[in-house]
A and B are shown apart, each in its own frame.
Chain A
Amino acid sequence: MRRIGLRALAVPGLISLAILLVAVAVPLLPLADPVRQDVANRLAGPSAAHWLGQDEYGRDVLSRILWGARVSLSVAFAATAVAAVIGTLLGILGGYFRGVVELATVRVAEIVLCFPPLLLALLVVTLLGPGAGTLIFSLSILFAPGFARVAYGETLSARALDYVTAQEALGAPTGRILVRTLLPNIAAPLIVQFSLTVASAMVLESGLSFLGLGVVPPSPSWGLMIRGARATMEQAPLLLAWPCLALTLTVLLLNLLCDRLRDALDPRGRAAGRPGFLRRVLALPAAAAPGASVPGLLAVEGLTLQVPGPAGPVQVVRDVGFSLAPGETLAIVGESGSGKTLTGLAIMGLLPPAVTPVAGRILFTGRDGSVRDLLRLPEREMRRLRGRDLSMIFQDPSSSLNPLVRIGVQVAESLRAHGVAEGVKGRVVALLRQVGLPDPERQAMAYPHEVSGGQRQRVMIAAAIANHPRLLLADEPTTALDVTVQAQILALLAALKRAEGVMGMVFVTHNLAVVADIADRAVVMYAGEVVEEGPVAELFAAPRHPYTAALIASMPEGEADRLTAIPGAVPQPWAMPAGCRFAPRCAMAMEACGATSPALAEIAPGRATRCLRWKEMA
């Protein structure tokens, strides 16, 4: 991301640098004197001696453009620099201290914004008389509030961050916090503001010079050149074109630089990848046609997902397989980076653009009894399945509901999207009642922000089960909730499972205790692979993979004085250990574990483990 940003910066950055260098080096260049008049050759066209021609006093236009750039740029840069220093200072102080200081800094600066900028500049210039110094002074007054606003806004959001509070907790003096901690972290938008302001300062400088209120003749300036050329526009139109062109190109260039700078400094980077409808079919080898008789509801086989990495593609999910019977609840347990969420999203056909499936198949038995490979299903057909045969509950109920649409309407949408037209309202109320929303008739009219987090999750569940899905995928549905509410939602899901009978559920979570609560079977994932699988009761009572055993032992439920911690951290996807991926953290690892990658071995019906030494755990 970072490197892409820098490359995009190179072109506008280098051209800007070249312009700046030329402006600095103008006195050293073999140019004609910009103020030496040659009235005999006034308005002469381009010639070998005067490449861009001569102006109304016979002065060299090229020389005047370059000298003018020097004046325009130095006025613009100086004014912007002064404005940046003053504005940033006011903004940081106002944003950090708030209250009276905010009133005295940011709010006072904002008063300047109430005046039309040109009028204010006219006022200052009229009072102080024209000249480059006055120009810089008036332009910096005009542009300082812009910096103050940006610095103020950024400071407000930065000061709420923990690392700023951490400095306060350390007892750091305020000045130190402002300079060492706040300033570097709000610098990026200020730099962007700087290049933007230079561009507008150049335009304003030219405008004021054009009006005769800026640079004093005969000093060259683009605004003065436009003013001079205007009088002779009919005889020598080119004279007007040159300074206009110089001004336009420079401003455009600065704006481009500013856009690229914004992209490069934004740590989130830009979204990359192909749109959804293209990605699914690419890079995926054809698989054997789904067999006529696949038992169960869902069978994931050899699923392998890949993302582009700095050194070639990286497999974030490798050879994952499991199956689900109707009415069964399967938990996928794992830590961050285990690939559990991506596996879930692959089933729904909702993989993010950067992730490509490269092998495997996902066989799903639809309502009509036909078996389809979800991994290869065209997006159009997938969309018909989603929300009807397949539905999903997300972790964060507040960001997965549309805040501007009433709750009832959102539940109704999922019904209407799949062809239900009759009695929608009654169905919605019945659904909301089924998920335990109190007073469903009235709550259906509420907006998402008017109900609590737990209630929002109930609404999400109501929308998900509206069409009696065959498969419900729940991705960490209780992680964002308080424990007492989590208990309610788990009880609700258990009740739904009983009511819906044939609905299968895949429950993605990191919480082993929740797995024990809700699931029939569990798949334990580590670093993109399934390491163990089995019925929940057996898995927890007698784990057959050291990772599962270590996870259980690390839960602070026992009476032991010290928790059994797993040393180290989950390996990064681009730096996977050669043999068994858990070996570097495993207490039972032996030499062979580092050399060969163990296969997932079935050790009993419905029970599998990926460990060379599982027999010793019995």
Chain B
Amino acid sequence: MSAAREPLVRGEGLTRAFRRRAGLFGRGVPVMALRGVDVAVHRGEALGVVGESGCGKSTLGRVLLRLMPPTDGRVLFEGEDLAQQTASRLRVLRRRMQMVFQDPYGSLDPRRTVGAQIADGMVIHGLARGGEAREKVAALLRQVGLDPDHARRLPHEFSGGQRQRIAVARALATQPDFIVADEPVSALDVSIQAQVVNLLADLRAELGLALLFISHDLHVVRHLCDRVVVMYLGHVMEQGPAAELFRAPAHPYTRALLAATPSLRHRGGAANPLVGEVPSIAAPPSGCVFRTRCAMAQPRCAEGTPPLAPMPGAPARQLACHRAAELAP
């Protein structure tokens, strides 16, 4: 693989277990939030991660940024294994990867001015301080569509959409190459969501950012992302170019997810709503984790976990399904 094709961020076999305490003195059972996930984000690419609650999409984002270490597997940033870095080297790498959180009310410190919080990254990484930092903060505020004078205010003086812009400005302050955006618009009002989605799209085009966009809203992902990863109970079910995947979803779960998403265009609801709910992640089904809700499940689906493999007839797409051959377009 040539250097140009080497992805900016690559996760290999990422597994993350949490311990859930059982009873007062229980040892705790491991809960697998991620199970052997492979993922790659290229320079300038927007990768969407979709799935329902408990599918591991937020954990994936945090593991890729090494805000939590993976239980197994490794994360490479420009080919460097993040686990092998010294604390000081990791801090240097952190300048280049940033995060935007879901809740714009919880992600800003309520007691410090917006300007100080945007300047944090620059001060920490020695990029600018004092008057120079203030100028850069003003420029960043302008870039995300806010008034530079707002730097002196506290977060509670802003609306949700404005706060999310501030959070984006804070992430941009260190001139990162890679941003993880964890449900950045789902806490916002409908009329504000479009503003923030447009802002992210513009910034990506302008700055050539790589973006990992985590969302449960398929419409937004379709609009913003080049490639999509569909997750269910810690596994990747399907991935591929956004346009193709949404036009012709292959995996039964992707199909069900798309069918369940309400739309202005078709009235009267989903034709065949998926039965049941996402099983508990502490006791996932054997074999294919989706089989308990899958309309196409067969006895063999209970036996082995289907590997994520290139889709027959569409090599750019990957599918984890025992009946992949029948699903190909």
Residue ranges of A at the interface with B (Cβ–Cβ < 8 Å): 161-163, 165-173, 176, 180-181, 184-185, 267, 335-336, 452-455, 482-488, 490-491, 494, 510-514, 516-518, 536-537, 540, 550-552, 554-557, 562-567, 569-570, 585
Contacts and interface: CB of A to CB of B under 8 A. Distances in A.
B124 A516 contact: no
Contact of A557 (B53, B90, B263): B263
15 contacts: A166-B101, A166-B107, A166-B108, A171-B90, A171-B93, A184-B112, A185-B109, A455-B277, A482-B216, A484-B277, A485-B52, A488-B273, A562-B198, A562-B201, A570-B159
Contacts of A567: 195
B263 A551 contact: no
Contact of B120 (A172, A185, A455, A485): A172
B253 to A, nearest CB: 9
B269 A487 contact: yes
A453 B276 CA distance: 11
Contacts of B264: 512-513, 516, 540, 552, 555, 557
A556 B262 contact: no
Contacts of B111: 184-185
B278 interface: yes
Contacts of A171: 90-95, 121, 124-125, 174
B257 A569 contact: no
A556 B223 contact: yes
A461 B263 CA distance: 24
Contacts of A454: 277
B110 interface: yes
Contacts of B190: 335, 510-512, 551, 554-555
A185 B110 contact: yes
Interface string B140-175: 000000000000000000011110000100100010
A482 B273 contact: no
Tell me which of B124, B161, B261, B277 has the highest count of chain A C-beta atoms within 10 A of its own C-beta. B277
B191 A551 contact: yes
A553 to B, nearest CB: 8
Contacts of A336: 160, 189
A171 B173 CA distance: 12
Contacts of A569: 159, 161-162, 189, 192
Interface string B266-287: 1111100111011000000000
Interface in B71-108: 90-95, 97-99, 101-103, 106-108
B269 A518 contact: yes
B191 A491 contact: no
A23 to B, nearest CB: 32
Tell me which of A169, A172, A452, A556 has the highest count of chain B C-beta atoms within 10 A of its own C-beta. A169
B197 interface: yes
A498 B109 CA distance: 50
Contacts of B124: 170-173, 176
List 4 tightest A-B contacts by C-beta distance, closest first.
A171-B94, A513-B262, A565-B194, A162-B107
Contacts of B103: 162
Contacts of B138: none
Contacts of A564: 194
A486 B262 contact: yes
A557 B222 CA distance: 8
A585 B160 CA distance: 17
Contact of B223 (A166, A168, A536, A563): A563
Contacts of B112: 180, 184
B94 A491 contact: no
B248 to A, nearest CB: 16
A487 B262 contact: yes
A172 B91 CA distance: 8
A565 B193 CA distance: 8
B75 to A, nearest CB: 14
A377 B93 CA distance: 65
Contacts of A557: 219, 263-265
Interface residues of B, number: 72
Interface string B213-232: 00011111011100000000
Given A169-B67, A176-B124, A452-B277, A162 B262 contact: no
B256 interface: yes
Contacts of A536: 267
A161 B264 CA distance: 36
B260 interface: yes
Contacts of B259: 487
A562 B256 CA distance: 27
Nearest to B279: A452
Contacts of A554: 190-191, 193-194
A174 to B, nearest CB: 9
Contacts of B63: none
A517 B160 CA distance: 27
A563 B277 contact: no
Given A335-B192, A484-B256, 16 more contacts: A163-B107, A166-B107, A169-B65, A169-B98, A171-B92, A184-B111, A452-B277, A454-B277, A483-B260, A512-B264, A518-B269, A554-B193, A563-B198, A565-B197, A565-B198, A569-B159
Nearest to B90: A171
A491 B269 contact: yes
Contact of B260 (A168, A335, A484): A484
A364 to B, nearest CB: 28
Contacts of A161: 106
Contact of B220 (A184, A491, A510, A556): A556
Contacts of B263: 513, 516, 557
A490 B271 CA distance: 12
Given A557-B219, A569-B192, A484 B257 contact: yes
Contacts of B261: 483, 513
A131 B208 CA distance: 70
Contacts of A170: 94, 98, 120-121, 124, 170, 174
A311 B219 CA distance: 42
Nearest to A171: B94
Interface string B42-85: 00000000001100000000000101000000000000000000
Contacts of A570: 159, 189, 191
B274 A168 contact: no
Contacts of A485: 52, 277
